[in-house]
Amino acid sequence: MFKSKTIRSGGNAKTIKGDKFGQYETAIMYLAPASQSLMGNVCPMAGQAGCEMGCLSKAGRAGMFSSIVEARIAKTQRYFKSRETFMADLVKDIAAFVRYCAKKGVKPAVRLNGTSDIQWEVAHPCTRQGVTYTSIFAAFPEVQFYDYTKVYKRAYRALPSNYSLTLSYSAANEAYANAVIDTANETGANVAIVYRTKALRNQFVEDGAHYLGRVGFGLRAMKREVIDGDETDMRFTDKLGVIVGLYAKGPAKRDTSGFVVG
């Protein structure tokens, strides 16, 4: 287990499942999602995607302890108040995680947006060992970074080779759903879909494909193979051009916005 001011590993069920592959260990940063820090919005598409209510931020430990929620709010406020100090903390913590992984004989993976959707590849320079880099990805080429995102325009960017992004679907808003489908079709990027139940997700995995969209009703269409996205959280190991099928956990089970499918 690795614990620091900004990132942590090992205490999260998704991470432990991923860790069974042995090669990688993932450290995740958890912020207060959307505008919950009351200082700014770390999830610019949450309103359109209708995902805040079913957000994973309330699943697991954070759903049980208000102290965890408060700590995440304080961390997010630090991000807004002093970006330079925040990035310096992040560099220090990732460097410590790299050393921790080296000692353990595993490769380091980091998810910066555990419960946020910040565009880290843009306007987030940082300094490591006296050298200033354009992004945290450039500062740590030895680390595999990965995230889910609802900011679909990010999939069109030339992302650093050590950063893998998976689009995140929601049918809460037709324009948003269409934009994600268009982006996935045009870029080949993977799309994560949260299904209502494990059984529903498994059914699509067994069927071999999910035909998404209602032709004639304004929604674009996409037909793709569905993989079991809960088997591992290591999204950068997925083959390209698939739907990453997840099933609803925590408050997402009760979602009625359209974020959860089925």
Residues that bind ligand SF4 (CB under 6 A): 33-34, 43, 46, 51-52, 55, 57, 115-117, 150
Min dist CB 39 to ligand SF4, Å, is: 15
Q: How many CA atoms lie within 13 A of 24 on its CB side?
A: 22
Measured from the CB atom, the residue of 46 and 110 that comes closer to ligand SF4 is 46
Min dist CB 73 to ligand SF4, Å, is: 14
Measured from the CB atom, the residue of 139 and 244 that comes closer to ligand SF4 is 244
Measured from the CB atom, the residue of 55 and 90 that comes closer to ligand SF4 is 55
Run of H or E including 15: helix 13-19
Structure tokens of 205? 């995995």
Measured from the CB atom, the residue of 4 and 166 that comes closer to ligand SF4 is 166
Measured from the CB atom, the residue of 19 and 255 that comes closer to ligand SF4 is 255
Distance spanning both ends of the chain, measured CA to CA? 36
Burial class (CB in 10 A: 0-12, 13-18, 19+), 53: middle
Min dist CB 38 to ligand SF4, Å, is: 15
Min dist CB 129 to ligand SF4, Å, is: 31
C-alpha to C-alpha distance for 202 and 229, rounded to whole angstroms: 10
Q: How far is CA 147 from the centre of its chain?
A: 4
Structure tokens of 248? 């609803």
Q: Fill in the DSSP letter of residue 229.
A: T
Min dist CB 173 to ligand SF4, Å, is: 12
